[in-house]
Amino acid sequence: MGIWFKEMPADYCNQLSFFEEDVMLWQNDKVYVMDNHRDAAWCWLQQCKDGESYNFMHIDRHYDMGDFYSEDDLKFFKSNRNMNYSTYANLMQKEERAKVMRWDNYIRLAYDLRPNWFRTNIFLTHRQGDVCETRRKNNMKIYELDTLFMYSYMYQYLLNLSEFLDGVVKGSGDLKWIVNLDLDVFFYHFDERIHTQLFSDDYIVEIGKLLQRALNKIQVLTIAISPDCLIGDDMEKKWRNGFRTIELLADKFYPLWDFPFEKVK
């Protein structure tokens, strides 16, 4: 049936889903759906083990690779490994001016916290945003691929992973994947005048079918709706485009069948 960690409010489309704010977080087994991708690292902490290694696939319009947190923030995470969702979501910077977790820094923080979770790192993005070099010793190596061939690359790396494939780190061929999907990858939104869906409905359904086939090779799948980055004349229409896209993925992807669409229509 799935569970809520932050339940969708009745006035969801009037609530802020931007930068460091989130509206909802839902889980069914190892699949999580959220509005703001900043919650993804908490989900990985629930599903991934400290001492194990994984591969990482980031499918998103943006890199989400900012380095905007302090050593004190890292120390807090290291000493509070079992923090609940509310603690994670509301954790403030030392100066109390902003929250620690943002929609553009969670990958870097997770990498600095658990570098063994990121052996082979495949990025399918529109190359928007910055890839910040970390101020720390660990530098995450990523291998970038073109989203134009998203389905083919997901098929190759998730279903037929071989160490002969480009970007695959030696010794990572048998590892499970952390898959991090943002629905904004399916859209182009330059400003309010230029916005369109880049991939057909049928294509999105096929992505869901592929995820179903690859489910036993996935350790955790985090899906961000990112309504601010979708198409629509207002926030309600953007949210509805997000739910519609989730429904397309759910057509053949069984963990999303239990998503409570009826509560948010």
- The enclosing domain of 58 has a CATH number of 3.40.800
The owner of tokens 């990025």 is 123
Measured distance CA(73)–CA(12) in Å, rounded:
30
Do the domain assignments include residue 201?
Answer: yes
Is 182 inside a domain boundary?
yes
Examine residue 12 and state whether it is found in any structural domain, yes or no. Answer: no
Query: How many distinct structural domains can be found in the chain?
Result: 1
Tell whether 135 is covered by a domain: yes
Task: Report d(CA 264, CA 243) in Å as an integer.
Answer: 8
What gap in Å lies between CA 111 and CA 74, rounded to an integer?
11
How much is the pLDDT for 265? 46
The model's pTM is 0.95
CA 197 to chain centre: 19
Q: Is the pLDDT of residue 181 over 70?
A: yes
112-156 pLDDT, tens digit per residue, is 999 999 999 999 999 988 786 666 666 899 999 999 999 999 999
Helices marked H in the chain: 40-47, 71-79, 85-90, 106-113, 150-154, 201-213, 235-250
Which structural domain, as residue segments, surrounds residue 214? 3-7+17-263
d(CA 248, CA 197): 13
How many other C-beta atoms are found inside a 10 Å radius of the C-beta of residue 98? 12
Q: What is the pLDDT of residue 232?
A: 86
Please write the tens of the pLDDT for every residue from 6-41. Answer: 999 999 998 889 999 999 999 999 999 999 999 999
